[in-house]
């Protein structure tokens, strides 16, 4: 499929800037509202090459600065424009171990694409879609792409335990295995992948893609994966160190749900977004009863919050047959933390946005299920420490929304299990683990990175943290041999 050009041949600069991007195929809203399949269907080869050709190859590429892991974006885009897919894949995989995931879920609009020079006059180059295309091609054509062929160095005899198999843990594991260390991943759940398997829905990130990344780690890089291991309850960090591990990396995420803390919140049919998403994504409740775990979704669903988690929960509720699905948010659309693309997708699928609204009480029915929520109207006041205007309650604005399912999606916080069992691991008042820029914690031989250090953030920042920690761990292990 690819015809590599001679290396010295330059791509001619386009005479005229192409300001309009190539649109990507998506399932139409009325179709995707009722199925769990991926919404965005990706570029074809021709579309990807066309889009790549829009890149003007800036002398000082600003896009790279927007990338938390410094992918050499102009070079991979150039290789793609020239049809040299193996080269494009090689460049991406050189710095990003999980590009098929990142190409789908990274907030490119606030990272690489935000800095794109073309974006100042028209559409930026859709770098994420190109990354996704190259990664999918590489995965589906392992022989041609060659990225999975890797000569592992001689084993160093050093052993590292990775706790948690989210993006942070997987990246750290992959780098350390490539450096020749023996790596063992401990994962609490029965499936590896972290939020990518239990949180982000199939319709945004097909689970077979995550599985392929894990298979690569286990089958090609020789990483050992131990599932069903709740570290802190099973082994403690000290026990793992005593067991012969030379270092530990903690990538346990921020997985504990937050609630609104309002009266009636423990009524039935009030789900944390985590519970709702775990049932659907990890346990595949959308296939009940072929799969054993059920999920109950009513006819009128309110999701509280406006981050990615809230959009995912609302869009699942649509797919599970709810008649009306609301996003209830106390600020306005301008402040919504979710990716713009996902807000747009949700709106197209019929999600109704109720902004400047805050639930204050859950009203249960006689048999204990939510029947309505009492809300108040908000208005925006002075900016707060986050720079966003602070929502304040409009006096006397109480009103009721009749609903039968309530999903608080207010974000997550670190699970205190490991810190509680590890007194010499310093944590902040928010429960996050204290670590320096290389991921080193206050506890000897223990590093940490990803959401457990930053609080809920992004896949790519977790990967970056996993990589920096791996570099530091590798350096120390080599020095101490």
Q: Which residues bind ligand FAD (CB under 6 A)?
A: 105-106, 163-169, 186-189, 194-195, 199-200, 229-232, 251-253, 255, 277, 308-309, 312, 339, 415, 417-418, 450-452, 456-460, 462
Helix (H) / strand (E) element for 352: namely: strand 352-354
Per the DSSP assignment, residues forming a β-bridge with 97 are none
Q: Least separation, in Å, of the C-beta of 290 and another protein?
A: 7
Is 235 a binding residue for another protein by CB under 8 A? The answer is yes
CA–centroid distance for 180 within its chain = 28
The entry of ligand FAD, another protein, none that residue 450 binds, CB within 5 to 8 Å by partner kind:
ligand FAD
Using CB under 8 A, pick the residue from 35, 44, 65, 266 that binds another protein.
266
Q: Within 136-195, which residues bind another protein (CB under 8 A)?
A: 188-190
Q: Within 282-321, which residues bind another protein (CB under 8 A)?
A: 283-284, 288-294, 296
Q: Within 348-367, which residues bind another protein (CB under 8 A)?
A: 367
Task: Give the nearer residue to another protein in terms of CB position, either 255 or 391.
Answer: 255
Query: In sequence order, what are the residues at sequence separation of 6 or more whose Cβ sits closer than 8 angstroms to the Cβ of residue 294?
Result: 279, 285, 288
* Count of chain residues binding another protein (CB under 8 A): 39
* DSSP E strand stretches across 143-297: 159-163, 182-186, 224-226, 247-250, 256-257
**CA distances for 350 relative to 186, 299, 306, 344, 478, angstroms:** 40, 14, 15, 10, 56
Q: Produce one character per residue of 410-438: b if its CB has 16 or more CB atoms within 10 Å, e if not.
A: bbbbbbebbbebbeebebeeebbbebeeb
Task: Give the nearer residue to ligand FAD in terms of CB position, either 118 or 200.
Answer: 200
Task: Give the span between the Cα atoms of 170 and 225, in whole angstroms.
Answer: 10
Task: Give the nearer residue to another protein in terms of CB position, either 17 or 287.
Answer: 287
Q: Least separation, in Å, of the C-beta of 455 and ligand FAD?
A: 9
- Stretches 85-93, 203-211, 260-268, 377-385: which one binds another protein (CB under 8 A)? 260-268
Contact 415, 385 (CB under 8 A): no
Per the DSSP assignment, residues forming a β-bridge with 184 are 161, 224
Task: Give the nearer residue to another protein in terms of CB position, either 167 or 255.
Answer: 255
Contact 21, 123 (CB under 8 A): yes
Q: Least separation, in Å, of the C-beta of 225 and another protein?
A: 13
Helix (H) / strand (E) element for 289: namely: none
Q: Least separation, in Å, of the C-beta of 325 and ligand FAD?
A: 16
Task: Give the nearer residue to ligand FAD in terms of CB position, either 42 or 251.
Answer: 251
Torsion of CA 279, 281, 282, 283, to 10 degrees: 50
Task: Give the nearer residue to ligand FAD in terms of CB position, either 86 or 107.
Answer: 107
Which spans of this chain sit near another protein (rule: CB under 8 A)? 188-190, 227-230, 233-235, 255-257, 259, 265-266, 268-269, 271-272, 274-275, 278-279, 283-284, 288-294, 296, 367-368, 415-417
């Amino acid at each position: 499929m690819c015809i590599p050009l001679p290396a010295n041949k330059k791509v001619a600069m386009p005479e005229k800037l192409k300001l309009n991007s190539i649109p990507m195929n998506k399932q139409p809203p009325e179709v995707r509202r009722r199925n769990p399949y991926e919404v965005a269907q990706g570029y074809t080869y021709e579309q990807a090459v066309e889009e790549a050709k829009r890149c003007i190859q800036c002398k000082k590429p600003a896009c790279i600065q927007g990338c938390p892991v410094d992918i050499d974006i102009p070079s991979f885009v150039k290789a793609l424009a020239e049809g040299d897919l193996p080269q494009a894949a090689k460049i991406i995989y050189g710095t990003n171990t999980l590009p098929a995931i990142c190409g789908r879920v990274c907030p490119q609009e606030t990272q690489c694409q935000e800095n794109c020079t073309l974006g100042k006059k028209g559409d930026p180059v859709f770098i994420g879609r190109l990354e996704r295309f190259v990664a999918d091609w590489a995965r589906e054509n392992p022989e041609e792409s060659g990225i999975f062929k890797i000569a592992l160095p001689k084993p160093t005899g050093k052993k590292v335990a990775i706790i948690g198999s989210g993006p942070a843990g997987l990246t750290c594991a992959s780098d350390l295995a490539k450096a020749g260390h023996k790596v063992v991943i401990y994962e609490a759940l029965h499936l590896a992948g972290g939020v990518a398997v239990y949180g982000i829905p199939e319709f945004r990130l097909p689970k077979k893609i995550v599985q392929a990344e894990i298979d690569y780690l286990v089958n090609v890089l020789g990483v050992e994966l131990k599932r069903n291991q709740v570290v802190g309850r099973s082994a403690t960090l000290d026990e793992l160190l005593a067991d012969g591990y030379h270092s530990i990396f903690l990538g346990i995420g921020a997985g504990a749900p937050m609630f609104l803390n309002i009266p009636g919140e423990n009524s039935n049919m009030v789900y944390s977004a985590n519970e709702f998403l775990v049932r659907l994504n990890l346990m595949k409740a959308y296939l009940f009863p072929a799969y054993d775990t059920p999920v109950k979704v009513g006819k009128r669903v309110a999701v509280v919050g406006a981050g990615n988690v809230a959009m995912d929960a609302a869009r699942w509720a649509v797919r599970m047959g709810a008649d009306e699905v609301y996003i209830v948010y106390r600020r306005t659309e301008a402040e919504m933390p979710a990716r713009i693309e996902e807000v747009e997708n949700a709106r197209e699928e019929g999600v109704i946005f109720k902004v400047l609204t805050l639930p204050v009480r859950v009203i249960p029915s006689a048999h204990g299920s939510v029947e309505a929520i009492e809300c108040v109207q908000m208005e925006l006041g002075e900016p707060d420490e986050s720079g966003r205007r602070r929502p304040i309650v409009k006096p006397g604005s109480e009103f009721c929304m009749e609903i039968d399912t309530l999903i608080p999606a207010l974000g997550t916080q670190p699970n205190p299990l490991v810190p509680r069992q590890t007194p010499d691991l310093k944590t902040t008042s928010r429960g996050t683990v204290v670590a320096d820029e290389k991921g080193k914690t206050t506890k000897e031989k223990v590093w940490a990175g990803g959401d457990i250090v930053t609080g809920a953030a992004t896949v790519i920042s977790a990967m970056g943290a996993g990589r920096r920690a791996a570099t530091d761990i590798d350096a120390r292990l080599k020095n101490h041999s």
